Structure formats: C-alpha cells, structure tokens
Structure 1
Amino acid sequence: MQPIGPTPHPPRPDLAFARCRSARRRRAAGWLAGLVIAAAGPAALAEVRHKAERTYYDVVGDSVEALRAQLQAQRPRGEDGGRYDAYTRWKLEWQYRFREQRDGCRRISLRTDLTTTIHLPRWQAPADAAPDLVRRWEAYVAALDRHERGHEALAIEAAEAVEQRVGAIGRAHDCKTLEAEVNAAGEAVVEDYKARQRAYDVETGHGRNEGVRFP
C-alpha cells in the first residue's frame, strides 16, 4: 500500500500594511500546502468559517492490478514531491482589525477562515466487474476517506486553536507589538498542528493501520 501523505500547507503571503489609525491585518499560514467578522473584543470570538472541498481523480480497470497501476499513474502529488493515493490540503487564515488609542493599541475584530480539500480516487465499476473487486475497492476508498477526515479534523482543531489564542490577545502598548503577538500566536498554532499531522500519519502508518490497503 502506498502511503497517504502528510498534510502540507501553502506559503505565507506578504502582508500589506495600511497607514491609518484603524487598520486591518490579514495573515495566511500554512504548510500545504494548510484566514470580516467583527468581534467586540477578546472575549467575543467569531465562529471559524470552514470551507470543505473534495476533488477526485478517475481510474479505470477491471482487476486489482489494473486499478493499482492506475492509482500509481494518476494519484496526486504532494507538496513534498511525493505521490499519494489520497491527500488533504488545508489553508488557515486569520484577519483582524486594530485601533490605536492613547493608552496603546486594541484589537477590535478577528476572523478565522479554514479551507480543506480532500483528494480521493474514483472508480466507475464496469457492469461486468467482479463483485469481490467492487467490495474490495469500496472498503479501500471508505478507509481512505476516514483517514483523510482525520487530517481534516486536525485542521479544524488548528483553526479553533487560532481563534482562541489570537482571540485572547486584545491589547498591547503599540500596534506593531500587537501585530507581532497576534501573528506569533497564530503561527505557533500552525507549527504545532503541522507536527500533529505528521504524528497522525506515523501513528496510523499513513492509514494502513486503519485499513487503507489496496490490494
């Protein structure tokens, strides 16, 4: 069984800084590759916005060997350069607004957005396909899906953690410090969950311990 890859995330774009007393900052963090709702203050957190996507690549064949050959040829390439039967990409972004005041700088809103994309194989079984082959394929894809949902669940946890940790930062003595603290908190969460994604693959044998085997 070929391994299911870790969940990478895209590079972080540069920030554009507004020259005004009330400014907004946007930060995208990811490794795969992997976020405006106003908030009244650190205690008022907006719900994470999650956009879940699925894409499929088609394979054809009427035997285990033919399908495996198709998987090897068609499966997606991860950002580490490896190719995997299934793959989950996630992108996490946080956007916030702050306002300079006489006594310092206060964050006045926060929005966190998560996009996850699960890539899976799809086989349209021919009418004369052997029932045993169909059963094996369906079990395999179901196991793939469960494994990738595990990656997705970790990405959701990461988004919620960003919302909590960044949301807890409400004020600093100046806006440059507030911005640095907010982004450091968000990026620390991303690094933590990058490690958790890798650990998940190690613990599950890239899904093999969860039944991801074909043939």
Structure 2
Amino acid sequence: MQFKEADGTCRVTSDDIVLKLRVTLPIWVDEARADPQVRAVWGTYYQDLKAHEEGHKAIAVDAADRINKITHQASAAGACDAFRQSLDSAARQIAEAAEGAQDEHDAEAKPFALE
C-alpha cells in the first residue's frame, strides 16, 4: 500500500489486494473404461469434493474482499506509520479469522466415501 500524509491526515493512495488461488482436483484418466456403477460413484464423489473446495475458495475471496474494503481509499487523522500499523493489524485479524474458517470448513465436512 502507498500512503500520503497531508494536513494531519494520512490517506491510502494505492492498494493492491492480490489473492492467488489454485484448486487442484483429481483426474481419472481411464474413467471411460470403468464399470458404470463405479463411474456414478466417482461422479458423486467428484462433485462433493469440488463443492467442498469451492467453499474454501469462497472463504478466501471473502477475506480478500473484506481487506480491500478496509484499505481502499481509507484515511485517518494522524501519522501514516500508525495508520499503516492499524490497517496491517486489521488485515492480519481478517486473515487469521479466515484461516480459522478454513479449518472449521474442513472439520464440518462430511467424509467423502467411495461406496
């Protein structure tokens, strides 16, 4: 983030909140040769897994959006060093809460069963 201090006010002049995500899902390379019942079970498993991973993605995107909202064009009276520390602390709290939400998402997940 870039800041500018003028007339006793510190203002965020530039902020880039970047979220890089990579979701890796399994690929069954010879699925077409498998028994139809096995393929049906695999399809259900795959969709459940994909939905679960989308939940992780949603938590991360929400956290990035929340950080963006507190930093974008923000301003505060006083020195920029204190303001930067305050924004950093708030962003860190959001990120830590998101990590907890990720863990909770996993803990609440139903086991994926290939039955």
TM-score by length of 2: 0.87
| Aligned residue among 126, 133, 148 for 2:38 | 133
Asked if the contact 1:99–1:105 (Cα under 8 Å) also holds between the matched residues in 2, the reply is: yes
| Residue 143 of structure 1: how far off its partner (Å) | 0.8
> Contact (CA 8 Å) 1:125, 1:134: kept in 2 or not?
no
Tell me by how many angstroms 1:127 deviates.
4.7
Residue 17 of structure 2 aligns with an amino acid whose one-letter code is T
Counterpart among 146, 163, 182 of residue 87 in structure 2: 182
Per-residue Cα deviation, 1:102-142 (whole angstroms, up to 9, x for no partner): 42422222221211111111102255421111111111111
- Aligned pair 1:157/2:62, yes or no? yes
2:113 aligned partner, one-letter code: R
Residue equivalent to 2:114: 214
The structure whose residues are more often helix, as a share, is 2
Deviation at 1:97, TM superposition (A): 1.4
- Report SS of the residue matched to 1:108: strand
The runs of 5 or more residues in structure 1 that have no matched partner are 1-95
TM-score, normalised via structure 1 length: 0.49
1:197 aligns with 2:102: yes
Structure possessing the higher relative contact order (Cα contacts under 8 Å, 6 or more residues apart): 2
Separation of aligned partners in 2, 1:198 and 1:100: 39
Runs of 4 or more off by more than 3 Å in structure 1?
none
Distance 1:120 1:138 in 2: 13
Which residue of 1 is the match for residue 22 of structure 2?
117
Check whether the contact 2:9–2:75 (CA below 8 A) recurs between aligned residues: no
Distance in 2, Cα, partners of 1:128 & 1:106: 61
Task: Give the letter aligned to residue 53 of structure 2.
Answer: E
Please, which moves more after superposition, 106-115 or 143-152? 106-115
Query: Structure 1's 181 and 172: CA in aligned 2 closer, same or farther, altered over 3 A?
Result: farther
Equivalent residue letter for 1:170: S
Change (3 A) 1:140 1:110: same
RMSD: 1.8
Distance 2:98 2:12 in 1: 25
- Percent identity over the alignment? 26
Q: How many residues align?
A: 115
The aligned residue for residue 6 of structure 2 is 101
- Structure 2 distance, partners of 1:117, 1:107, is 29
Write the distance in 2 (CA, Å) between the matches of 1:172 and 1:190.
25
Partner secondary structure for residue 122 of structure 1: coil
